[in-house]
Amino acid sequence: MNIVERRETDMERRLRPGHAGLVASLLVALAFLGWSADQALAAAMTIAGNGPELRMVERLTNAFEKKYFGAVVEIRWDPSFQPSHMVKTGEADVAVAGQTDPDLLVTPIAWDGIAVLVDFTNPVRDITSLQLAAMFSGAVTRWSDVGGIDTRIELINGPSNQPIRGRFETVLEIVGKSPSTAHVSRSDQRAISRVAGNGSAVTYVSLGVALDAVTYGVGVALLSVDHVEPAKQTVRDGRYRLRRPVLLLRKDEANSTAASFVDFAVSNEAKDIIEEMYVSYTGPDHEPHAMRSSMRDK
């Protein structure tokens, strides 16, 4: 063996056990330096929610974590949660909600239509707001009273703590008037499954979820309300009255990762993700940030 073959290279010396950790640290440091200051976040954050926005939130957080080096986002999601309360108690940094809270900063990011669904065999295809209010308050109990066949109306409600139900009842002015006989489904998917194949049932769900169900061949039909078809464009321009805002709520002193996530959620990059299921929010003069203080003061 000649002397050249026995010589240890500089690279071999660096990779000996005593140096391997140092090399790894240097590589991480070099990678970190490749990120700009506003793309490097070290703090973790938690997002809480209870509604149909989970898929959108998952996609937003994935994009956010890829963009911001070191950011770690935990999602806590369950129909029984009270997201705004979780932010107040410190269990979460950001809440996905449907109404404002005077103690929290609010940033609207989307509009969601509230679709009214029946089984496809139900002949009713258009209904008025007054008829819907009468149905979901128990004042009208037969389909024949709203242009359908003479059979009872089976109401499928959402959980009382979820924003979609709160907004639905607020728009129709029937808050607290739901009959005790109405069935409560924990999710949009379960509500749809109870309506499909049941000509007596009626429910309301997120428009994106409803449109997906129709696309995949589930036997349900979406009702027009006050002669306005539920669609992204009619939700966007406000002609379809059954719509709700999707809001992000946080404390004033939220950590930098939470604040950066909220800023990301109103960026053009996030808009493309939001538009997959919802209508991206635009406030006065199409400035989402301009709505933050005014929404909070309402």
For the stretch 120-132, pLDDT in tens is 999 999 999 999 9
Residues in the chain: 298
pLDDT of residue 287: 39
What per-residue confidence (pLDDT) applies to 42? 58
Domain extent listing, the chain:
40-111+245-297, 112-237
**DSSP H stretches of helix in 110-184:** 129-136, 163-172
pLDDT of residue 31: 41
Q: Which fold has domain 112-237?
A: D-Maltodextrin-Binding Protein; domain 2 (3.40.190)
Q: Which residues of the chain have pLDDT under 50?
A: 1-38, 284-298
Q: What is the pLDDT of residue 11?
A: 39
Whole-number Å distance between alpha carbons of 222 and 117: 5
Domain 40-111+245-297 architecture: 3-Layer(aba) Sandwich (3.40)
Q: Output the CA–CA distances (angstroms, integers) from residue 118 to 26, 115, 204, 221, in the order listed.
A: 61, 10, 9, 5
Return the pLDDT at 283: 61
Amino acid 41: pLDDT: 60
Q: What is the pLDDT of residue 13?
A: 42
Bridge partner list, 214: none
Q: What is the pLDDT of residue 282?
A: 72
Could you read off the pLDDT of 15-50 as tens digits, one per residue? Answer: 444 444 444 443 344 344 444 444 556 579 999 999
Q: Do domains 40-111+245-297 and 112-237 have the same CATH topology?
A: yes
Read off the pLDDT of residues 205-232 as tens digits, 9 standing for 90 and up. Answer: 999 999 999 999 999 999 999 999 999 9
Q: How far is CA 235 from CA 22, 84, 123, 230, in A?
A: 56, 25, 24, 7
The DSSP call for residue 279 is E
The pLDDT of residue 37 is 42
Sign of CA dihedral 297, 236, 286, 96: positive
